[in-house]
Amino acid sequence: MKQVVLEKYHCMGNDYLVFDPNKNDLELNVENIKKMCSRHFGIGADGILAGPYLGENDFYVHIYNADGSEAEKSGNGMGIFAKYLRDAGYVQKTTISWKTLGGEETVFYLNEDATRVKISMGHPTFWSDEIPVTGERREMVNQTMVFGKIPYVTTCLSMGNPHCVIWMNEISKEMVCRIGEHSETSEYFPEKVNTQILNVLDRTNIQIEIYERGVGYTLASGSCACAAASAAYRLGLADPHMYVHMPGGTLEVEIKEDGMVYMVGEVGYVGHIQLGNELSEQLRIK
C-alpha cells in the first residue's frame, strides 16, 4: 500500500494541506478529508487543496473545507497552491492560471521563492440572486437580517463564494462566532455563507473577524478579506487601496476602477508530511 504524502502551508495562520493526485493513489471523499483536517485525529488544517488535475491545455484545483465540502474560491488557498506549484517544479513562469469550482484563478509571483503573491480575486457582485440570497432580486447593501433573533444591518456579496459583512464599532472572536453559528446555515443563504464582522479603523485600514462556511472561526481568509474590503468601499467607508487586519495577519487589497479586486499576501511553508501506514489505511476505508 502506498503511503499518503502531503505538503502543509499557511497564509497568516490560515493553513491548508496540499494533496497532489499525481503523487498519491488515494481517492478523496468527505470522510477522509475530515479525518486529515482533524486537529486531534489527523494532521490538522482549515482545508485541503487537491491538484493539479492536469488537462490538455490547462489544469484544475479542488478546494475542500475542513468539513469535506468543496469551496468555490479561497484567496489564501490560491496563494498557497501557487507556491506549491513553484516548489514542486510545475511552473517557472511569473504568472499562473488554473480553474476551480468558482472559475479561473490567476496568481502573480512577486518574488523568486514565491512567498509573496498577488492574486486576482474577480469582480464582486452585490445582487441577491448571484450571491445567492433568498427573496426578490435586490442589491444586498445595508439590508437588515436577523440571526439568532437579533437584527443586523448587513452587506452581502459574492467573490465567487458568498459573504455576509456586518459593520460594527467593536468586534471580537466571541461576537463573530455568536453570529456565525446562526448566519452560516440561515435560510437566507441556500448555499450557506462566510460571515465577517467589520471595524473601520481609517480610510486605508479595516479590521475583521471571520466565521467561515464549513470551517468555523478562522484566523485569516483571503476571500473574506476581499469581501470585507469590497463592502467597506461600496459603503463609502474606505479607499480602494486598503489593508485588512485579521488575527492571523494583514492582507493588502486593491480595488481597480473596473471593479476587479486584487490581494497581496505572504505564504509560509510548514513541511512535507508522509502519513503512517495505519492512518493511510484508514483513509482508504469507505
Residue set of the binding site for substrate:
14, 65, 75-76, 161, 194, 212-213, 222-223
Place of cell 521563492: 113
Distance (Å, whole) CA 284 – CA 61: 21
Can you read off the three cell numbers belonging to residue 245? Answer: 487586519
Q: Euclidean distance between the first and final Cα of the chain, in Å?
A: 16
Largest Cα–Cα distance of the chain, in whole Å?
Answer: 58
Residue numbers in the known binding site are: 14, 65, 75-76, 161, 194, 212-213, 222-223
Can you read off the three cell numbers belonging to residue 92? Answer: 517557472
* 3-state secondary structure (DSSP) of residue 29: coil
Q: What CA dihedral angle connects 266, 271, 272 and 274, to 10 degrees?
A: -130
Q: How many CA atoms lie within 13 A of 254 on its CB side?
A: 8
Nearest to 25 by CA among 286, 280, 282, 277: 280
Distance (Å, whole) CA 166 – CA 147: 11
* 3-state secondary structure (DSSP) of residue 178: helix
